[in-house]
């Protein structure tokens, strides 16, 4: 079922990421980590649907997406980056992507962190963060989405990795997180691992985790 929803607020998160708050249809529900297909309610774009993950809490009276725009691509995210308050999305019902299966390690590459936002916000609101850890890889410090909020929720259990520029504040790696880094940072591979990022990131993380002893049943990722 499709719903037309008005954008109520747009907030800059980073230089190319914004949070879009919009109307919540009556009776609409989702679980943290779920996504929906959305389209822009404008001529020429209504049939161009893309999946985005909800980032708000379930009981909020609104819905929210955190979306990275790619201005050099003439596509949906580039168009979303031009939207204003009062414009409308067309959203479908929620469907499952990443489901929380207990305390573990969240591995995110760039905007791939978005499915984890609602999960961690929900756990934080319930005082159930526990031993959950976020290892978050970005090209530059300016790319880190919700840096302050993740640090508030997770404290020292958030590990920021920067791959494309020198940094004194965070861990510097040349390119992707590698197997040796995971072995150094993680003591227990018999726990859930949540993986989301670009396809090459996902493939590498899942391969390394399996080689380090993680159970395939304990790997949670978008398929």
Q: How far apart are CA 213 and CA 208, in angstroms?
A: 9
Q: Let me know whether 177 and 147 are in one domain.
A: yes
Q: Let me know whether 109 and 87 are in one domain.
A: no
Dihedral of CA 171/172/178/180: which sign? Answer: negative
Q: Let me know whether 10 and 59 are in one domain.
A: yes
What is the domain-level CATH number for residue 142? 3.40.50.80
Per-residue pLDDT of the chain (223 residues), as tens digits, is 999 999 999 999 999 999 999 999 999 999 999 999 999 999 999 999 999 999 999 999 999 999 999 877 678 999 999 999 999 999 999 998 799 999 999 999 999 999 999 999 999 999 999 999 999 999 999 999 999 999 999 999 999 999 999 999 999 998 889 999 999 999 999 999 999 999 999 999 999 999 999 999 999 997 6
Whether 100 is in a domain gets the answer no
109: nearest Cα among 201, 18, 41, 189: 201
Whether 137 is in a domain gets the answer yes
Whether 96 is in a domain gets the answer no
Q: Let me know whether 84 and 125 are in one domain.
A: no
Q: Let me know whether 61 and 115 are in one domain.
A: no
pTM of the model: 0.95
Q: Let me know whether 156 and 184 are in one domain.
A: yes
Q: Let me know whether 21 and 123 are in one domain.
A: no
């Amino acid at each position: 079922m499709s719903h037309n929803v008005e954008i109520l607020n747009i907030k800059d998160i980073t230089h190319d990421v914004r949070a879009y708050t919009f109307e919540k249809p009556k009776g609409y529900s989702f679980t943290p980590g779920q996504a929906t297909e959305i389209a822009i309610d404008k001529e020429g774009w209504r049939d161009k649907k893309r999946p985005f993950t909800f980032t708000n809490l379930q009981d909020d009276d609104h819905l929210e997406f955190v979306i990275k725009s790619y201005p050099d691509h003439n596509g949906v995210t580039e168009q979303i980056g031009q939207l204003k308050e009062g414009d409308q999305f067309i959203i479908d019902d929620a469907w499952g992507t990443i489901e929380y299966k207990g305390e573990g390690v969240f591995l995110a590459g760039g905007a791939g962190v978005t499915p984890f936002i609602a999960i961690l916000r929900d756990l934080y609101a319930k005082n159930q963060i526990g031993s959950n850890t976020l290892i978050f890889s970005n090209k530059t410090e300016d790319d880190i989405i919700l840096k302050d909020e993740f640090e508030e929720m997770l404290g020292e259990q958030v590990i920021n990795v920067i791959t494309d520029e020198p940094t004194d504040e965070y861990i510097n790696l040349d390119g992707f997180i590698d197997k040796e880094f995971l072995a150094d940072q993680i003591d227990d591979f018999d726990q859930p691992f949540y993986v989301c990022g670009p396809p090459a990131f996902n493939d590498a993380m899942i391969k390394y985790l399996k080689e380090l002893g993680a159970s395939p049943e304990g790997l949670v990722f978008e398929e």
